[in-house]
Chain A
Amino acid sequence: MTDILNALVLFMNFVGVPALAYGSQLALGALGVTLIFGVLRFAFFAHGDLMAFGTMVTILATWGLQAMGVSLGVLPTALLALPFGAAAAVLAALSADKAVFAFYRKQRAKPVVFFIASVGVMFVLNGLVRIIIGPDDQRFADGGRFLFKVGEFRDWSGLSEGLAIRTTQALTVVAALIVMVALFRFLERTKMGKAMRAYSDNEDLALLSGVDPARVVRWTWVIAAVLATLAGVLYGLDKSFKPFTYFQLLLPIFAAAILGGIGSPKGAVVGAYIVAFSEVMVTYAYRKFAMYLGPQDWAPEGLLQLLSTEYKFSVSFLILVAVLVTRPTGLFKGKVF
């Protein structure tokens, strides 16, 4: 019995908790991608770099606050700096829309043109981030490291395996939950939220009903940019900030949005957790886990790891391809990508 419990705790510590946090970060990113796709009808490839941009400004503001001696105690100072980053990301998104996408909207360009233009925006943001903060790893987490540590859990439970939950992991899950509930309430209950859904569902009919497209587009950028910054800051706190990593996050984020059904906010959230859990579960070495569950004094020969962690992005890629081939509308009947 204790062996099963030990196996469970081990699994939670190395798969459950990290994947839950990672999934929450992906969900916030995927929500932005899916909203932009629903309303503006194109795949916004600069999303990863928008995350990096917002996070970069947050980091700079965090350093500033730290230099002034401001702190939030147990919580990371970055939370105080987040509004600055979010505002900068909103500004960047709205500027990109005004300078680039508005032009193509007027031309009634095809989605693929928007998509390629968004790759251009991606390079610009990409370059800006590297010029300002550089391509290297930045750590900006402060405050309490752990909610509870492995040793503390062991003492409490009497098991030989322990479970640790980092402050940033707990913060990620709680923050993501609050923001998602708020976003869904906004989309379900408010006039603007309904207008966004209507516009995403049937543009012509929404226009006929008197929905102002300019306002819908503006709100979409604001929401997507704030979500992107939050996702980026939580990811950076949980792991670390590196511009290239954020660019790479584009793949799991799109995999999540498409798996859920692009254009469907619910789908984006569900897709994000599925992608996160798949990635972590496939790259986890199950050796010790199997030892607890197998017969006594038995040990498997290998690590029991399906895929080395360097290849974790292939999991998203595989999911992406499988969904596009078998069910392009995704789990929640989104638009066809």
Chain B
Amino acid sequence: MSGQDTGGPLLSGRGMIGGYGGADILHGVNIEAHAGEIVVIVGPNGAGKSTAMKALFGMMPLREGRVTLRGADITALSPQDRVKAGMGFVPQTGNVFASMSVEENLEMGGFLREDDVSETMEMVFSLFPILKEKRRQPAGELSGGQRQQVAVGRALMTRPEALMLDEPTAGVSPIVMDELFDKILDIAATGPAILMVEQNARQALNIADRGYVLAQGENRYEGTGADLMADPEVRRSFLGG
């Protein structure tokens, strides 16, 4: 697995420039994540946070720049191939199969795997006990928070080394948000790098090892979560005082 590991970042995007056909949205964004690390991307609306993440996952073609996983260049790989290579992605919306049961959602997450997935499923169930209880229920009938758990669980089924979450707490209550962040800490403790885009910047930076502040498609600040929280400039401009 770690054949090409040279002590560098697990996942890295350097000098990413590109957009969806029209004008560029990213103007040279650099993001990296190491194994076991929680990295958060924050920034105002339209800063290119989600776009940067999609670029890392191959859902948006890059005009310039490169993306590497374990040091290997994956810039040309399709999202599906990146899943095979060890990346997982939880989209912000439409991230579960609403008409399928919780268990089937997890099975679909492990669709590409040829081996027995039951062990990974048990791991997901122990992480999210409520999902075991509701395993036979259609995911579309669950509450928002439970649905997010299904979505994260689905992405975990391939045992990704780099897990990317696009606003996992969008639209859930503050209590559920805290719960989700706790779970994300638990997941990070099992080894993968976690990269997430967050609207709830303060709470996210609280659990983050490192954070990036993007604005207008560029890196504005970066540092440990605590540093960013302590930086008066960042607080004033991006965290609402």
* A→B interface (CB under 8 Å): 191, 194-195, 197-198, 201-202, 204-211
Q: Which residues of chain B have C-beta atoms less than 8 A from A197's C-beta?
A: 97, 99-100, 104
Per-position 1/0 for B75-114, Cβ under 8 A of A:
0000110011000010100111111100010011101100
Considering the chains assembled together, what is the distance between the CA atoms of A201 and B84 in angstroms? 22
The answer on a CB contact under 8 Å between A205 and B91 is yes
The answer on a CB contact under 8 Å between B94 and A204 is yes
In the complex, residue of chain B having the shortest beta-carbon distance to the beta carbon of A38: B99
Whether a CB of chain A sits under 8 angstroms from the CB of B210 is no
The answer on a CB contact under 8 Å between B112 and A210 is yes
The answer on a CB contact under 8 Å between B97 and A202 is yes
Whether a CB of chain A sits under 8 angstroms from the CB of B154 is yes
* B→A interface (CB under 8 Å): 79-80, 83-84, 89, 91, 94-100, 104, 107-109, 111-112, 154
Give which listed residue, A201, A202, A204, A211, contacts B111 with CB less than 8 A. Answer: A211
In the complex, residue of chain B having the shortest beta-carbon distance to the beta carbon of A207: B80
The answer on a CB contact under 8 Å between B96 and A195 is no
Main secondary structure of the interface of A (DSSP, over half): helix
Q: Which residues of chain B have C-beta atoms less than 8 A from A194's C-beta?
A: 100, 104, 107-108
The answer on a CB contact under 8 Å between A198 and B108 is yes
The answer on a CB contact under 8 Å between B99 and A205 is no
The answer on a CB contact under 8 Å between A210 and B97 is no
Give which listed residue, B94, B98, B99, B112, contacts A209 with CB less than 8 A. Answer: B112
Answer whether A195 and B111 are a contact pair too, CB < 8 Å, given A205-B94, A210-B84. Answer: yes
In the complex, residue of chain A having the shortest beta-carbon distance to the beta carbon of B113: A210
Cβ contacts A to B, 7 pairs, < 8 Å: A194-B104, A195-B108, A205-B91, A206-B97, A209-B83, A209-B109, A210-B111
Q: Which residues of chain A have C-beta atoms less than 8 A from B112's C-beta?
A: 209-210
* CB proximity of B63 to chain A, nearest CB, Å: 22
